């Protein structure tokens, strides 16, 4: 509608989108209209991560980034890009984009070469990039080269959401707010209180089918709950 159409209802104000929001709107519209999104929902128990984090300042997000890198090594289609000539480009490197909310809009700085980094190093780098994002000190090189993105709303809330893929990537992980829940413990055969984290995976259905999406999220769930890689 034209802005004059609103005047008959009352007064209003008009604000121009920030450059970041305007660019994000353009990119998200292109992604949503050109990529057939499918979203798979899953949950994982956070006991192992909470125990691993005890007496440290490592963020849960750092564990998720590291865990995703292991899954991407096994499920290479999620670390690819679809080319225009119906070819798939598989990347040998794993760089994880982290969506960060700022007053001017969403930015996605990138943790490079995640496979080669320890969880503590990843956690420290996320803090540095988040501070640079909030103070508008991110460089172009901080925002380039991601192969997979994670969007975490765990500190804000929500039981689940469908994140939009960040092209030329083919998938994105969304993390929602964890909650305490009473579940049945198959070992003790008694009810037990567990800290449960919902997460969701949106993927490009042109090259990834539902079975692949389910296998990927199942592996993420297993690794989050067991953290076997820490003993390797």
Active site (catalytic) residues: 205
| Alpha-carbon span 63 to 110, nearest angstrom | 15
CA dihedral of 19, 20, 21, 27, whole degrees rounded to 10? 110
- The b/e string for 31-44 (b: 16+ C-beta within 10 A; e otherwise) is beeebebbbbebbb
Contact 77, 170 (CB under 8 A): yes
- Per-residue CA distances from 57 to 25, 63, 128 (Å): 34, 12, 14
- Other C-beta atoms closer than 10 Å to the C-beta of 82 total 18
């Amino acid at each position: 509608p034209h802005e004059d159409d609103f005047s008959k209802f009352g007064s209003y104000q008009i604000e121009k989108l920030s450059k970041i929001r305007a660019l994000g709107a353009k990119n998200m519209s292109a992604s949503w209209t050109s990529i057939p999104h499918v979203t798979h929902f899953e949950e994982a128990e956070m006991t192992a991560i909470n125990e691993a984090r005890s007496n440290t300042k490592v963020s849960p997000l750092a564990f998720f980034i590291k865990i995703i890198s292991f899954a991407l090594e096994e499920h290479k289609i999620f670390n690819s890009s679809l080319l225009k000539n119906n070819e798939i480009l598989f990347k040998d490197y794993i760089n994880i984009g982290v969506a960060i909310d700022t007053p001017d809009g969403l930015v996605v700085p990138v943790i490079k070469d995640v496979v080669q980094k320890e969880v503590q190093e990843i956690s420290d780098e996320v803090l540095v990039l988040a501070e640079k994002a909030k103070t508008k000190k991110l460089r172009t090189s901080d925002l380039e080269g991601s192969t997979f993105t994670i969007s975490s709303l765990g500190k804000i809330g929500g039981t689940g959401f469908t994140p939009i893929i960040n092209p030329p990537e083919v998938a994105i992980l969304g993390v929602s707010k964890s909650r305490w829940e009473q579940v049945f413990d198959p070992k003790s055969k008694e009810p037990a209180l567990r800290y449960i984290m919902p997460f969701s995976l949106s993927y490009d259905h042109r090259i990834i089918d539902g079975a692949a999406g389910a296998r990927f999220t199942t592996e993420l769930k297993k690794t989050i709950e067991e953290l076997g890689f820490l003993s390797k």
